[in-house]
Amino acid sequence: MKRIYLDNAATTPVDERVKEKMIPILTEGFGNPSSIYQEGREASKAVEAARKEVAELINAKPQEIFFTGSGSEADNWALKGVAERKKDKGKHIITSGVEHHAVLHTAQALEKQGFDVTYLPVDEYGMVNPEDLKNALRDDTILVSIMMANNEIGTIEPIKELVEIVKDKDKGIVFHTDAVQAVGNIPVDVKDLGVDLLSMSGHKIYGPKGIGALYIKPGTPIANLIEGGAQERNRRAGTENTASIVGFGEAAKIAREDLDDHEKHLKEMRDYLIEQVLERIPDSYLTGHPTKRLPGNASFIFDYIEGEGILLTLDMGGIAGSSGSACTSGSLDPSHVLLATGLPAGRAHGSLRLTIGRDTTKEDIDTTVDVLENGIKRLRAMSPLDKDHPIDSDVYKEADKHHHH
Beta bridge partners of 119: 95
Q: What is the pLDDT of residues 32-81, one digit of tens each?
A: 999 999 999 999 999 999 999 999 999 999 999 999 999 999 999 999 99
- Quote the pLDDT of residue 320: 96
Same domain, 368 and 279: yes
- Residue 175's SS3 state is strand
Same domain, 239 and 279: no
Q: Is 249 inside a domain boundary?
A: yes
Confidence of residue 323 (pLDDT cuts 50, 70, 90): confident
Classify burial at 325, counting beta carbons within 10 Å of its beta carbon; exposed 0-12, middle 13-18, buried 19 or more: buried
Q: What's the mean pLDDT in 210-226?
A: 98
Dump the DSSP string for 71-137.
HHHHHHHHHHHHHHHHTTT--EEEEETT--HHHHHHHHHHHHTT-EEEEE-B-TTSPBPHHHHHHH-
| Calpha distance 362→355 (Å, rounded) | 14
Q: Cβ contacts of residue 290 below 8 Å, gap of 6+?
A: 125, 405
Alpha carbons within 13 A on the beta-carbon side of 388: 4
| Calpha distance 100→149 (Å, rounded) | 10
Same domain, 159 and 298: no
Residue pair 352/299 in contact (Cβ under 8 Å)? The answer is yes
User: What total of structural domains would you count in the chain?
Assistant: 2
- Final residue belonging to a domain, choices 198, 223, 256: 256
pLDDT for 214 beyond 70: yes
pLDDT for 244 beyond 80: yes
pLDDT for 390 beyond 70: no
| Calpha distance 42→215 (Å, rounded) | 24
Q: What angle do CA 325, 265, 99 make, to 5 degrees?
A: 30
Give the chain's length: 405
Same domain, 225 and 276: no
Q: What's the mean pLDDT in 376-384?
A: 91
Total-model pTM: 0.93
pLDDT for 385 beyond 90: no
Same domain, 232 and 339: no
Q: What angle do CA 198, 299, 199 make, to 5 degrees?
A: 10
Q: Is 405 inside a domain boundary?
A: no
Q: Is 213 inside a domain boundary?
A: yes
| Calpha distance 97→79 (Å, rounded) | 16
Q: Of the given ranges (77-86, 147-156, 339-348), which has the lowest mean pLDDT? A: 339-348
Same domain, 313 and 206: no
Q: What is the pLDDT of residues 93-139, one digit of tens each?
A: 999 999 999 999 999 999 999 999 999 999 999 999 999 999 999 99
- Quote the pLDDT of residue 387: 58
Confidence of residue 334 (pLDDT cuts 50, 70, 90): confident
- Between 185 and 2, the more confident residue is 185
Residue pair 224/234 in contact (Cβ under 8 Å)? The answer is yes
- Residue 382's SS3 state is helix
Q: What is the pLDDT of residues 177-197, one digit of tens each?
A: 999 999 999 999 999 999 999
| Calpha distance 217→194 (Å, rounded) | 9
Q: Is 153 inside a domain boundary?
A: yes
Same domain, 331 and 300: yes
Nearest alpha carbon to residue 221 among 107, 111, 114, 78: 78
Nearest alpha carbon to residue 70 among 113, 100, 108, 109: 100
| Calpha distance 201→214 (Å, rounded) | 9
For residue 190, the one-letter residue type is V
Active-site positions?
Answer: 327
The CATH number covering residue 278 comes to 3.90.1150.10
Same domain, 269 and 209: no
Same domain, 291 and 252: no
Q: What's the mean pLDDT in 264-284?
A: 98
Residue pair 305/373 in contact (Cβ under 8 Å)? The answer is no
For residue 232, the one-letter residue type is E
The CATH number covering residue 69 comes to 3.40.640.10
- Final residue belonging to a domain, choices 221, 241, 256: 256
Confidence of residue 384 (pLDDT cuts 50, 70, 90): confident
Same domain, 186 and 279: no
Q: Is 157 inside a domain boundary?
A: yes
- Final residue belonging to a domain, choices 223, 256, 289: 256
Residue pair 54/190 in contact (Cβ under 8 Å)? The answer is no
Dump the DSSP string for 188-235.
--HHHHT-SEEEEESTTTTS-SS-EEEEE-TT-----SB-SSSTTTTT
Same domain, 301 and 381: yes
- Count the helix, strand and coil residues of the chain and give each as a percent rounded to the nearest 5: 45, 15, 40
Residue 155 sits in which domain range? 16-256
Mean pLDDT of the chain: 93
Q: What's the mean pLDDT in 240-268?
A: 98
Same domain, 70 and 178: yes
pLDDT for 14 beyond 50: yes
